[in-house]
Amino acid sequence: MGISRLFAKLRARNHHFMPVFAQQATYLLHASSTLCDMTETVDPLQWKKMEKEIKACEVQGDALLTEFHEQLYEGLIRKIKRSDLQTVAMMIDAFLDRINDSAKSIPLYMPKRIDSQIVDLAQYINACADSIKKLMALFGDLKKNYSKIAVQCERITELEHAADDTFAEYIGYIFTNESDPIELMKYKNIAEAFEEATDAAKSISDTIRKMIMRYQD
């Protein structure tokens, strides 16, 4: 769905914010799934192709965020505080940016191999994106969906902790087993980009946790 059609739909539904967050989540999930695919190959041509695909999601996400801000500041979206809506939208966009950074790191550093820990980190990112998509489907009624939202937030926290453990394990592994210092730094930098993406996902869940507590009143 194009941006203009998306916001025509938004206006037709009393300027409700749900289609915007749903589309953001769709971009997230597509980008993170493509990132997983990147870790399943060592073909530089495939890396470049998939990096461009992820970049396209990031560009579309930026355009969507700009349109969302215009709607927000015109006062057309009111069900939840505008500052809360803005924060969530910007954090989702930041997560998409981190996925894009992760994708760029692979063709940038051209590693000789993709270790299993990097594959695992990509899977954690994808699982976080899946939870965020589920969260956005529940976001229209924070009170009614309190318990379900809390479950998805907890899942993201658990995924981020697992990613931290995998990252720490991987750093120890490459410093122990990789004798080439240049290759070592490549693997370290790629892993850091992936780990930062899971941190960005957790920032979204932490923010939503605080929101649902406020809107229970």
Helix H segments across the chain?
Answer: 3-12, 18-38, 44-73, 82-109, 116-138, 146-177, 181-214
pLDDT of residue 7: 42
Q: What is the pTM of this model?
A: 0.87
Tokens (6 digits) for 138: 């529940």
pLDDT of residue 102: 98
User: Is the CATH number of domain 3-214 1.10.8.100?
Assistant: no
Query: How far is residue 153's CA from residue 204's CA, in Å, rounded to a whole number?
Result: 8
pLDDT of residue 166: 98
pLDDT of residue 115: 97
pLDDT of residue 156: 97
Query: How far is residue 103's CA from residue 53's CA, in Å, rounded to a whole number?
Result: 10
- Shortest CA distance to 32 belongs to which of 87, 95, 116, 111? 95
pLDDT of residue 71: 65
pLDDT under 70 in the chain at which residues? 1-17, 71-80, 215-217
- The structural domains of the chain, with segments of one domain joined by +, span 3-214
pLDDT of residue 80: 66
CA atoms within 13 A on the CB side of 165: 7
Going 47 to 48 to 50 to 54, the CA torsion angle's sign is: positive
pLDDT of residue 92: 95
pLDDT of residue 15: 42
Residue 70, CA distances (Å) to 64, 67, 179, 201 in order: 10, 5, 52, 25
pLDDT of residue 194: 98
